[in-house]
Amino acid sequence: MKEIQKLYDRIIQRANINLRELEFDVNPYVQNVIPFEQMIKFYAFFGISPHHRLNFQFKNSNLAGSYFLGQCRITNSLLYKSDIRGDELKRAGDLFEYQGFEIPVSRDEEIEITDSLLIKTLVHNFSHDPETLEEFFIKDTISMNYANIHGAPSDGCFLGSFATVDLTTMRDSVIGNFAYVQAGEISHLDIAPGTVWVRVPGEFNFIYTHPQEELNHYIYFKAGIAPQGQLIDFVEDRKEAFQRVFDVVNIEQSIPVPSSASLDRYAVSKSPIHIGENVLVSQRAFLQNAWLGKGANAQENCYIINSRLEGCNVTAHGAKIIEADMGTNVFVGFNSFLKGGPDSRLTIGKDSIVMPHTIIDIKEPLEIPAGSLVWGMIKSAKDLKNHSISIEKFSKINGGLSMGNMFFEGDGASFIAGFQDRIHHILEANGAFFNGSDKKGHAQKNQYISFNTLQPYPEGPRKGLYPTIVIKP
Amino acid sequence: MKEIQKLYDRIIQRANINLRELEFDVNPYVQNVIPFEQMIKFYAFFGISPHHRLNFQFKNSNLAGSYFLGQCRITNSLLYKSDIRGDELKRAGDLFEYQGFEIPVSRDEEIEITDSLLIKTLVHNFSHDPETLEEFFIKDTISMNYANIHGAPSDGCFLGSFATVDLTTMRDSVIGNFAYVQAGEISHLDIAPGTVWVRVPGEFNFIYTHPQEELNHYIYFKAGIAPQGQLIDFVEDRKEAFQRVFDVVNIEQSIPVPSSASLDRYAVSKSPIHIGENVLVSQRAFLQNAWLGKGANAQENCYIINSRLEGCNVTAHGAKIIEADMGTNVFVGFNSFLKGGPDSRLTIGKDSIVMPHTIIDIKEPLEIPAGSLVWGMIKSAKDLKNHSISIEKFSKINGGLSMGNMFFEGDGASFIAGFQDRIHHILEANGAFFNGSDKKGHAQKNQYISFNTLQPYPEGPRKGLYPTIVIKP
């Protein structure tokens, strides 16, 4: 295991050099988080289908338990149970529009992960940085459990547990636990845990910060200890159910799935389950007593339990919905944790937007009216008042708004339009609007994926490292 | 499935062009033998270990259910449940000795399979042809169920079911069902089914032919029908046991295996089983109530049932031993079928050589004395007299010997010495002589293999074909 230890040391050192101005040492965070022995225990896997570009290059890396789709190049990196989905990348010949510029994409974009350590991290989407159209790079970066790197190139960064960076190029920055950043371009920032920040320079700026002490009950992680809290417990409690899914080569589909929908063979589904037309359930999603109406989706690391989604619902990467009824077109953002109970169901009316990284954890029934924008931490009807507003009202903001820990400045209509466009795009990409012949998306394309497994050297100095692997059409 | 059909047609055509002088049409033989649907059903798999060279290149091929180890390059070929073991190839810098020449090997030898269709075929060993040291080629060739291509480059050939070509370069030839050829170099020959031919030009020539009608009970295969007979039934009856072995990702080892031995995770073992020191059990071997003493081996497609092997036994690719007791150092050649019964056990004394493709099928107990050379078809003690001789006696032949269907001419001592050297080499290569530190062979090296699976395009025009895959250290 000499080589893998050297590689690990090298990655840590490179991240630390990048983060020296922030006086941030990644060492104590990553110590003992993954024992090396775990890194040889799980196979990596990749998908092949006629509907996805194919270009994998793996070199001098450990890929334990990680999944790859599309176009990915991994070099000198340790990827532990991460999902690298290169299936929404830009293609050669595309025109990338940016502030009046139309920039041609010269070659197919690739996700390029170099000298990085990603733990249970989701990497997806395309990079929105006009400076680097063909390379969605992740370099000298360390990300912890359940982080999302979503269309966000990264150089020299540390992402805490359940952190999400979305459509943002980041350099030499630290993103705290459960922080969400969508800010275009950032550099040398140390984002506090529980921050939810959405900014389009010149248009608007939305910022919310979870109360630190309350957040610690859900996710707490600092130097020297492993991530802990309710979110970690929740996921760990359901870990075993995934075991069987990964242990067998071919799994039998026990649930009826319409021909326009797809239920990934690496998802867990516990009856009763209803899968409607055009539904997409991604790998590592967990469904238990769940009703998914037409065009609803459950993305990677989502949990939908004792809940009903009426249709065209987006459940973004890492979102959890428990004991809830969601109207049509409800959007639930990344890593949100919406937890009702058997006697305290959560109801969210149609067309509502639940901001990324929202926590709703209620002991009494709660009804959120249709067309709401919801954020922050909500434990009661009282909290809801301070952490929601009607989308209509929000659209009329021109100037600023402050509610509790939330500050907004700029154009409310632009903020809402941005979200709605994006939700529409997500539904479209996922195949929610498929009409039997046109508008195919992931739900239709993912039905025809075959899976392949890879394992590392089981012994010798390269133990734990994978050989060089190149896969092309 | 258009592409795979085109590839199939192209392979058939190329083989037929090569075999035109023999007026042999492969078409009716291969029709319906594998439905295309089967070709997308099974994953291919390859091994990675620190003890094996690693160089795989797969291009425009179907590899359904096939296994690869070492150095293999597969192009425009259909390989159905075949084993391609490139783990005994020559290495750059080796000196190849041939009739007084010492020829340096300029680069690592590779198995190169091009424009060929191999069905349940084993490819192993290195090519012994001094004209092609670095390329063990199999080109424009079709081989049927349970054929062995053992160190035998092939260009434009057809191998019938259970045919073996061993250390022989073959061109434009047809090898009949259950024929065994070890003859250095052959060209434009049509070898009759059931022929067993061992020749070293200028030294000796051994030839035996199974009685056609009796052989038909064991293996019968002609144009227009699928291979049938006792041998096929025997294998088909045990097919299901392999299902589980291939269906799970990690299999638990239920049988104690000494640290110097290896029992492949793709072998079937049904208790009680004893695995001694230095024992090698290869993938697709089948053990049931089997006792394997120190240094014994069971190679690919071997079946050892209700039998005891005392130690240092070679059970070559495809050999079957049922209800038998084998002394130490007994060699059982390729595809031999040794079948005793509960009340009619077969006993073979130590140091005996059972020639490749021998059939022993008895209804009464039979004891073969130590130091025997055995061949042909034996169903009784009377048959044994005509199909065996003491090795000592055979070594004294100088001129010729004829017994029943067997004809020998040349130097008996040279024939026996050749066999014994080879048996010694096989035991050595398989690790039978490992002393705890030196003389490692497959038994010790194969413990540290990790397995990887590959699958073809599941849909679209390339359905059934695998993408281009390159794997290097």
- How does pLDDT run across A106-118, given as a tens digit for each residue? 999 999 999 999 9
B308 with B442, same domain: the answer is yes
d(CA B398, CA B418): 15
DSSP state of A105: P
d(CA A48, CA A71): 11
Q: Is A467 on the interface with B (CB under 8 A)?
A: yes
B154 with B302, same domain: the answer is no
B224 with B254, same domain: the answer is no
B338 with B412, same domain: the answer is yes
Strands B204-209 and B195-200: antiparallel
Q: How many Å lie between the alpha carbon of A263 and the closest alpha carbon of chain B? A: 16
**Burial degree of B66 (CB within 10 A; 0-12, 13-18, 19+):** buried
Determine contact, residues B433/B426, Cβ cutoff 8 Å: no
B215 with B301, same domain: the answer is no
d(CA B236, CA B232): 6
> Cβ contacts (< 8 Å) between A249 and chain B: which residues?
43, 246-249, 453
d(CA B330, CA B298): 12
B313 with B165, same domain: the answer is no
* Interchain pair A458, B450: CB under 8 A: yes
pLDDT for B41:
86
B329 with B272, same domain: the answer is yes
A107 with A11, same domain: the answer is yes
Determine contact, residues A287/A298, Cβ cutoff 8 Å: yes
- Helix/strand/coil (H/E/C) assignment for every residue in B374-387: ECCEECCHHHHHHC
Nearest to B48 among A51, A246, A457 (CB): A457
Is residue B462 classed as helix, strand or coil in its secondary structure? coil
Nearest to A248 among B247, B463, B471 (CB): B247
Phi, psi (degrees; rounded to nearest 5) at A57: -140, 115
B123 with B17, same domain: the answer is yes
In chain A, which stretches have pLDDT less than 70?
A: 1
pLDDT for B99:
83
Does A32 fall in a domain? yes
* Interchain pair A469, B470: CB under 8 A: yes
Q: Which uninterrupted H or E stretch holds B394?
A: helix B391-395
A231 with A87, same domain: the answer is yes
Determine contact, residues B112/B135, Cβ cutoff 8 Å: yes
d(CA B190, CA B233): 27
Does A324 fall in a domain? yes
pLDDT higher at B123 or B42: B123
d(CA A105, CA A72): 17
A24 with A159, same domain: the answer is yes
Nearest to B459 among A248, A448, A455 (CB): A448
Determine contact, residues B193/B179, Cβ cutoff 8 Å: yes
d(CA A179, CA A164): 6
Does A365 fall in a domain? yes
Q: B254-311, pLDDT tens digit by residue?
A: 789 999 999 999 999 999 999 999 999 999 999 999 999 999 999 999 999 999 999 9
> Does residue B397 carry a pLDDT above 70?
yes
Domain residues for B405? 241-446
Q: Which of A52, A265, A457 to mutate to test the interface with B (most CBs of B within 10 A)?
A: A457
Nearest to B248 among A49, A249, A462 (CB): A249
- Residue A343 sits in a domain whose CATH number is 2.160.10.10
**What is chain A's length?**
473
Does A196 fall in a domain? yes
Residue ranges of A 395-454 with Cβ closer than 8 A to chain B: 448-454
pLDDT for A118:
97
Q: How many Å lie between the alpha carbon of A146 and the closest alpha carbon of chain B? A: 25
pLDDT higher at A202 or B34: A202
From A32-46, A451-465, B130-144, B342-356, the region with the lowest mean pLDDT:
A32-46
Is residue A320 classed as helix, strand or coil in its secondary structure? strand
Q: Is A463 on the interface with B (CB under 8 A)?
A: yes
Question: What integer is the mean pLDDT of B319-326?
Answer: 98
> Cβ contacts (< 8 Å) between B454 and chain A: which residues?
452
pLDDT for A216:
96
> Does residue B35 carry a pLDDT above 80?
no
Residue B394 Rama label (left phi>0; alpha psi -120 to 50; beta): alpha
Residue ranges of A 46-75 with Cβ closer than 8 A to chain B: 48-51, 54
pLDDT band, residue B1 (cuts 50/70/90): low
pLDDT for A92:
94
* Interchain pair B450, A467: CB under 8 A: no
Phi, psi (degrees; rounded to nearest 5) at B215: -60, -35
d(CA A210, CA A196): 8
> Cβ contacts (< 8 Å) between B247 and chain A: which residues?
248-250
* Interchain pair B457, A50: CB under 8 A: yes
Closest-approach residue (CA) in chain A for B472: A468
d(CA A440, CA B49): 42
Pair of tokens at residue B383: 């048959």
d(CA B24, CA B280): 40
pLDDT for A1:
63
Q: Which of A249, A250, A446 to mutate to test the interface with B (most CBs of B within 10 A)?
A: A249
> Cβ contacts (< 8 Å) between A462 and chain B: which residues?
50, 473
| Overall number of domains in chain B | 2
A121 with A229, same domain: the answer is yes
**What is chain B's length?**
473
- Residue B221's closest CA among B171, B265, B175, B266? B175
d(CA B250, CA B248): 6
Q: Is A17 on the interface with B (CB under 8 A)?
A: no
> Cβ contacts (< 8 Å) between B49 and chain A: which residues?
457-460
Q: Is B243 on the interface with A (CB under 8 A)?
A: no
β-bridge partners, B55: B71
* Interchain pair A470, B467: CB under 8 A: no
Closest-approach residue (CA) in chain A for B59: A473
* Interchain pair A248, B248: CB under 8 A: yes
Q: Is B1 on the interface with A (CB under 8 A)?
A: no
> Cβ contacts (< 8 Å) between A49 and chain B: which residues?
457-460
* Interchain pair A51, B460: CB under 8 A: yes
A18: Cα separation from own chain's centroid: 24
> Cβ contacts (< 8 Å) between A463 and chain B: which residues?
50
Pair of tokens at residue B55: 């160089």
Closest-approach residue (CA) in chain B for A456: B450
